[in-house]
Amino acid sequence: MKIKKYLAEFFGTMVLVLFGCGTAVVTGGLTGGEATGTLGVAAIALAFGLSIIAAAYAIGHISGCHVNPAVSLAMLISGKMGFIDFIGYVVAQVAGAFAGSGILYFITKASDLDGAGANGYDTLSSVNLSVSGAIVVEVVLTFVFVMTILGVTSSEKTSNIAGIVIGATLTFVHLIGIPLTGTSVNPARSLAPAVFAGGVALSQVWVFILAPLVGGALAAVVFKLVFKPSEDAD
């Protein structure tokens, strides 16, 4: 049943946003002092990566564990899913992201914590990255991330370790991306926290919706034209 796949995507995206963005809030990211600033980068990166690994083995057999509109767009372009399913996946992913952000919002309001884990550039970037720089960063990081997904899921020989490989890749793109933009590579992950954060974060969120979609689409086209294994390959 399609509803089962959509529910799986909802759950997976909720877990990703809650634990990934939640870790950013709890550790204080890069602005939580000398100790937590260093801890924040590694901890946030690992939280997003481990969330994907957990989700992959929990719901991968049901929906493929996209939990990311950029990944679903790549699968649509690659011919691995239909347009109706693509719409269903994206709606479920966005709803799951809002559920995760909603839970995080409730936690922060019931504690001394503050923030939503939103992405940003200029004053919201730890290195004051410009808007053009943020676009390039998000396109490139998403391209690498989605190319890895397409590659590791293209063969049965590597499908059993796909969750670990994808989670590790999400971790390493966060390691470089967190100081730059907070790392999106996922429009749903960016939209929900930006809405809860409001203000400047919400005005900048278009970058973190558009750039990952462009990166995912480029990855799908390049993989299909250049790197896709031939059907008669061993």
Give the helix/strand (H/E) hosting 224: none
Mean pLDDT of the chain: 92
232 belongs to a structural domain: no
21 belongs to a structural domain: yes
Quote the CA–CA distance of 120 and 129 in Å, as a whole number: 9
Q: What is the pLDDT of residue 158?
A: 86
Quote the CA–CA distance of 67 and 100 in Å, as a whole number: 12
Whether residue 17 contacts residue 47, with contact meaning beta carbons closer than 8 Å, is answered with no
Range of the domain at 113: 2-227
> For 202-215, what is each residue's pLDDT tens digit?
999 999 999 999 99
* Sign for the pseudo-dihedral over CA of 78, 145, 161, 1: negative
CA atoms within 13 A of residue 226's CA, in its CB half-sphere = 7
180 belongs to a structural domain: yes
Whether residue 122 contacts residue 130, with contact meaning beta carbons closer than 8 Å, is answered with yes
CATH number at residue 78: 1.20.1080.10
234 belongs to a structural domain: no
Q: How confident is the model at residue 39 (pLDDT cuts 50, 70, 90)?
A: low
34 belongs to a structural domain: yes
User: Measured between alpha carbons, how far apart are the two ends of the chain, in Å?
Assistant: 33
The amino acid occupying position 65 is C
Q: Is the pLDDT of residue 110 over 70?
A: yes
Q: Tell me how many domains the chain contains.
A: 1
